[in-house]
Structure 1
Amino acid sequence: MPTDAETRPDTSGSQTLSRGLTALSLLADHGRQTIQQLADRLGVHRSVAYRLVRTLEEHRLVVRDPAGLLSLGPQLVILARDVEHDLQSASLPHLQQLADELGATAFLAVRDGDDAVTLVTAVPRGVNASVAQHPGHRHPIALGAPGIALQSMLDAATWRALGHDEPMHPEVEVMRRRGWAVSANEVIQGITSVGAPIVSRGSTDASVAVVTVGQPDTDAMGAAVQRTARAIEADLR
């Protein structure tokens, strides 16, 4: 018969694992930060965050620069190299072409439950500055053009199963008719995004999007994003 110690859940270990995964997500979302900043975002004492960081550093999941700023480590690239490999390989050249054509950051997002997660990004060449969109960044699919594009691939029952009592974003129906979605000032103030779904991807819902500042020609961007989505679909067949 198992003892109480053997059957009792290891809550401390589970909590540590959960904090470690959350720390990686925070570094993906917020970029380089100090241990104190990470501790504040985790809601833990600095000493707890320090021990957590040391463990992540040992496994090269996190690295620290000479100034003490933390960032995601190279081991994550190794772990992620086979995640949606075909999708990444098919999309990257098309994303780079899209980014260069529009002079805006282009990226591919996949649905992870109720979130849109950036899988791969292309930055425009020959442009002095562009909006940063790091792989691993996530935001709710309820907001933003890539999220709206992902919503458009769901039926009402799936949307409710994700915990939504409210209807889908009003732009979803527009996107279904037009083929691409537009969002401004939803995820980040001052940022406009345009996105289109990649259909026929089996178990993974994906979308192509671009992000930029100012008041872009969203019709031209939408047409380009939609063409890119169709090109990626063709390469995946």
Structure 2
Amino acid sequence: MTSASTGAGSQSQTLSRGIQALELLADSEAPLSIAELSAGLGVHRSIAYRILRTLEAHSLVMRDDAGRVSAAPGLAALARGVSRDLQSAALPELTIVANELSMTAFIAVWDQHDCVTLVTVEPRHSRTALIQRPGTRHSFTVGAPGIAIQSAVTEEHWNRLAPGQPYRPEARLARERGYATSYSEVIDGVGAVAAPIQVPGQLPASLSVVYFGSGKDEAGIGARLMESVRLIEAQLR
């Protein structure tokens, strides 16, 4: 197995490429051909094929009759193990909130320099709800989910946890009222409201909803999210 040295030390190049292949498949709207996968990885097709065969053996990817590659159910089994207790506690509340507000509801969690969508629920009878895919990530510097997560810690604590990442003034406001808002920060024309979730022994997360347009009752939405957060936190104590 080859290895590559980076600023973080020696890393497995083969493992890194395998993970990158999974990220490419997760981001793609449609299955990828071997040629597309090798181009995305920047490697020869023979190397991409070996990576594919290994991932296939672990049920992490699968190929259709045309040989195109997509993510396989094995990935879902791995994902269930991430913040398992938080997912279990949050899913019923996400479903209720999504259908009650007719907005996509999701949990965002801390992941190094970004907040990442862990689990998401779309409203049952809405054709206009925004799709928010698990694994979607964006910087803490934009969007209500990241602001809400910031608001759960003091500015001093934040500077220790994320040196070099600015503590947004909006996080101070969110800390006072219990929820954060944003509009057109991550996607133009899309608004978001989020409330922080504080899990004992873990970094904070957030419960968020996203929607098209502006002019929503943000205070009412924020209060509703805070109610769900209290129920989720009660189960995790």
TM range (shorter): 0.7 to 0.9
Change (3 A) 1:195 1:56: same
Partner of 1:107: 106
Count of paired positions: 229
More displaced 10-residue stretch of structure 1: 50-59 or 122-131 = 50-59
Q: State the distance in 2 between where 1:171 and 1:40 align.
A: 41
Q: State the distance in 2 between where 1:44 and 1:158 align.
A: 42
2:207 aligned partner, one-letter code: V
3-state SS in 2 of match to 1:132: coil
Partner of 2:22: 24
1:59 aligned partner, one-letter code: H
Q: State the distance in 2 between where 1:127 and 1:146 align.
A: 22
2:236 aligned partner, one-letter code: L
Which blocks of at least 5 consecutive residues in structure 2 are unaligned? Answer: 5-10
Contact 1:114 1:162 in 2 (8 A): no
More displaced 10-residue stretch of structure 1: 174-183 or 157-166 = 157-166
Q: State the distance in 2 between where 1:220 and 1:30 align.
A: 36
3-state SS in 1 of match to 2:20: helix
Residue 188 of structure 1, CA deviation: 2.1
Which blocks of at least 5 consecutive residues in structure 1 are unaligned? Answer: 1-8
Q: CA RMSD in A?
A: 2.6
Contact 2:189 2:214 in 1 (8 A): no
- Is 1:225 equivalent to 2:217 in the alignment? no
The equivalences for 1:75-224 within 5 A come to: 75-161=74-160, 164-165=163-164, 167-217=166-216, 218-224=218-224
Contact 1:182 1:195 in 2 (8 A): yes
Q: State the distance in 2 between where 1:191 and 1:30 align.
A: 22
Q: State the distance in 2 between where 1:33 and 1:74 align.
A: 14
Scaled by the length of structure 2, the TM-score of the pair is 0.83
3-state SS in 2 of match to 1:98: helix
Q: State the distance in 2 between where 1:52 and 1:160 align.
A: 39
Q: State the distance in 2 between where 1:37 and 1:140 align.
A: 27
Percent same amino acid among aligned pairs? 48
Q: State the distance in 2 between where 1:169 and 1:129 align.
A: 31
Change (3 A) 1:157 1:231: same
Partner of 1:6: none
More displaced 10-residue stretch of structure 1: 151-160 or 11-20 = 151-160
Contact 2:32 2:70 in 1 (8 A): no
Residue 209 of structure 1, CA deviation: 0.4
- Give a deviation string over 1:77-134, Cα, whole Å, max 9, x none: 2223333222111111100000001111101111122221222111101112321112
Contact 1:142 1:151 in 2 (8 A): no
- Give a deviation string over 1:150-181, Cα, whole Å, max 9, x none: 11223434533455436312210111111111
Scaled by the length of structure 1, the TM-score of the pair is 0.83
Q: State the distance in 2 between where 1:185 and 1:70 align.
A: 34
Q: State the distance in 2 between where 1:186 and 1:38 align.
A: 31
1:215 aligned partner, one-letter code: S
Residue 59 of structure 1, CA deviation: 1.7
Q: State the distance in 2 between where 1:16 and 1:135 align.
A: 25
- Give a deviation string over 1:187-227, Cα, whole Å, max 9, x none: 22222111110124322321100111112512222222222
Contact 1:28 1:137 in 2 (8 A): no
Q: State the distance in 2 between where 1:182 and 1:64 align.
A: 41
Q: State the distance in 2 between where 1:172 and 1:99 align.
A: 24
3-state SS in 1 of match to 2:220: helix
Q: State the distance in 2 between where 1:216 and 1:225 align.
A: 18
- Is 1:235 equivalent to 2:227 in the alignment? no
